[in-house]
Amino acid sequence: MQLGRIYLLRHGQTCWAVSGQHTGRTDVPLTDVGRQQAKDAGARIRAAHPEPFDAVFTSPLVRARETAHLAGFDALAWDDVMEWDYGRAEGHTRAQISEVLGRPWNIWMDGPRAVPEQFGGDGVEVLQNGQQVDVHRGSGESIDEVFDRASRVAERLQQYSLDGKDVLVVAHSHILRLVAMAWVGLDPEDGRRFELETAHYIVLSEHKGQPVIERWSA
């Protein structure tokens, strides 16, 4: 039996993606650019994979659900592919956090719990389009915690592949990179070395019995 391929699509552009604000669990919608990106991504995926997928999943967050819909796919929500819970980093930029810490801060190496407590607390943010969004800033997930979740996702996707099924997952930059790291057996911190642009996708497969990343940011 031919093994199945796994497609991992990042959602389209949001205003926080443009501003560099950490967007974990906050339900920030796509921009007009992001909506067009989603449509274009759907066309690229169908050109590469013209047959229907055996299963399509999406993060339940609105930016992923909207991307899946605009790309032309009916998707089931899957909580495990929600984005990393950034905790006190949510809605803040790396530069803002680094300035207060007095040193460079990196989510991959430091995690959300190194973010100063003054950045914590729930609130409401007003987006550039005037929409208000609720922002939760708790303790967040450590990289080990989110990688455990990504590993569960990778294990389930590996079973689909072994069954010869092709699957599409629409989700977010960090969680998808961590799923890819789990697929090929790399450390979670290695995910920081791979950039995944908005509305671009990864293909995971196997070659000669070895899990591989077949395409990246296509």
What is the set of active-site residues? 11, 83
Q: Is 122 exposed, middle or buried (0-12, 13-18, 19+ CB in 10 A)?
A: exposed
Does the CA dihedral 130-87-120-101 come out positive or negative?
negative
Radius of gyration of the chain (CA): 17
Give the Cα separation of 159 and 165 in Å (integer). Answer: 9
H-run or E-run covering 211: strand 210-215
Residue for token digits 């009916």?
Answer: 74
| Separation CA 111–CA 114 (nearest Å) | 6
In terms of residues, how long is the chain?
218
Q: Token pair for residue 66?
A: 């909207």
Q: Which residues of 56-90 are buried (b: 16+ CB within 10 A; e: fewer)?
A: bbbbebbbbbbbbbbbebebeebeebbbbbbbbbb
134 DSSP β-pair partners? 124
